[in-house]
A = this chain, B = another copy of it.
Amino acid sequence: MAHLPPPTLESCRALDAADPLAPLRAQFRLPPDLIYLDGNSLGAMPQAAASQVQRALEQEWGQGLIRSWNDAGWIHRAQAVGDAIAPLVGAGAGELTVADSTSINLHKVLWAAMALGQQRAPQRQVLLTERDNFPTDRYIAQGLCDQFGWTIREVAPIPASAERPVPQELLDALAAPDVGLLLLTHVNYRTGAMHDMAALNRLAHAAGVITVWDLAHSTGAVPVNLKEPGAEADFAVGCGYKFLNGGPGAPAFVWVHPGHVNAVEQPLRGWFGHAAPFEFDAGYRPAAGIARYTCGTPPILSLTALQAGVQTLGAASPWGGMAALRAKSLSLTRTFIAASAATARAHGLQLVTPMEDSRRGSQVSWGCGPQAPDGYTVMRALIARGVVGDFRASPRPGEPDILRFGFAPLYNTHVEAWDAAQALGEELQRASSARAAGAALVARSAVT
């Protein structure tokens, strides 16, 4: 990619003109004059969300009232949305359901995975994960390790390369005989770097290790195959409000390999996860299959918006679905990297997102080291002029603050990538000039 000619406004227009998915943008209600590159944090609103939530309010709740649990299918809606998400991650119908939040679902599956691990190999009591996992994943993991008497072991892998798809640190760590569980986020929230899920599932299973995947930054943006033959995952959770465009705080999803979904329970024993919720049994009997991973009554309005979001994604099916979305996503991130690289590097920024397509999710992250202008100031200026990405402060000394730009293949365009790159260049220039002027002022003050 480094050798490709840099894009031009004209080449971006040509890419958009040739984009078979371009008409899908009209499914979203995007503000005019805004370049929205934060769909990796909160996806844009599908037109269908407004109309379907309105119907859930007015007809289903307002007129149907309690009868809508049956008549409008509320009782089956979470599973219906789960069945619509399933093919996006290579899961079968009835294997994946929607419930609660990503954090809570992660708590359920980690608990279950540790219980399964205890059954299979009780001497393995280490949960292996990455240092730069999303914090909530680490909090949940640490809490459960404390409960189970396990130890959390964090590696800080040097990014992999196309030649070596699994970082050496992970390879080494997986070989330890005390590791029972591998928890990874498929696409890293800070860097956008993507793990080779199949390779890691294969290696983990060969080593006797159970795998748990957080698909928050993958689902709806990159193809995922949880059941790749010979490299199947064990547990996974994912987020409804990023690339699934399910709305703020949309419920999350949970998947468990059908081979062991019934082998263990999960710890949150609510009535919706009971084998027969409306028999009001005295004793808890977990439902068979993934339904046991539900707990309380689902938030129907938020769930309905997620249903609309997932349906909207389905509009890409005639052009190849996830494969077409992935191709466009790569084209968008490639364009943005190529269009912003020269200026960004000239101002001391470093690309923390992998250049290789095979290792890049659907975002581009520029790191602001000590030589770069202040990243927070730059992102605020970009947002003020209508280019919305976000800023993530450095998690520890010596590592860069990050400017994140997410690309949603359903609605972003190559011209937006181009325009955003120009805006970034201008704001970097402005911030550098301001800093230079400030430094000159300080220097003058020191002399006088």
A interface residues with partner B (beta carbon < 8 Å): 29, 31, 34, 36, 38, 41-42, 44-45, 49-50, 53-54, 56-58, 60-63, 65-69, 74, 100-104, 107, 131, 134-136, 138-140, 142-143, 147, 241, 247-252, 267-272, 274, 279-284, 295-303, 305, 383, 388, 390, 392-393, 395-396
Contacts A139-B270, A282-B138, A301-B301 given: A295-B104 contact, CB under 8 Å?
yes
Nearest chain B CB to A189's CB is how many angstroms away?
9
The answer to whether A142 and B248 have CB atoms under 8 Å apart is no
Closest to A389 in B: B66
Known: A103-B272, A249-B303, A302-B302; 4 extra A-B contacts, CB below 8 A, are A50-B54, A54-B57, A140-B270, A247-B301
Residues of B with C-beta under 8 A to A56: 248
Residues of B with C-beta under 8 A to A392: 280
How far, in angstroms, from A295 to B68 measured CA to CA in the complex? Answer: 29
CB contact between A66 and one of B41, B68, B279 (< 8 Å): that residue: B41
Closest to A143 in B: B269
- How many subunits of this chain does the assembly comprise? 2
Residues of B with C-beta under 8 A to A136: 269-271, 296
The answer to whether A66 and B388 have CB atoms under 8 Å apart is yes
How far, in angstroms, from A267 to B396 measured CA to CA in the complex? Answer: 27
The answer to whether A135 and B280 have CB atoms under 8 Å apart is yes
Residues of B with C-beta under 8 A to A53: 53, 57, 301
CB contact between A299 and one of B66, B250, B283 (< 8 Å): that residue: B250
CB contact between A139 and one of B284, B300, B390 (< 8 Å): that residue: B284
How far, in angstroms, from A80 to B271 measured CA to CA in the complex? Answer: 28
In this complex, the member of A66, A135, A302 whose beta carbon has the largest number of chain B beta carbons within 10 angstroms is: A66
The answer to whether B383 and A67 have CB atoms under 8 Å apart is yes
Residues of B with C-beta under 8 A to A58: 29, 50
The answer to whether B295 and A103 have CB atoms under 8 Å apart is yes
Residues of B with C-beta under 8 A to A42: 61, 65-66, 69
Counting from the closest, the 9 A-B pairs by CB-CB distance are A101-B296, A103-B270, A103-B296, A299-B302, A248-B300, A136-B271, A139-B284, A139-B269, A45-B62
In this complex, the member of A36, A65, A395 whose beta carbon has the largest number of chain B beta carbons within 10 angstroms is: A65
The answer to whether B104 and A269 have CB atoms under 8 Å apart is no
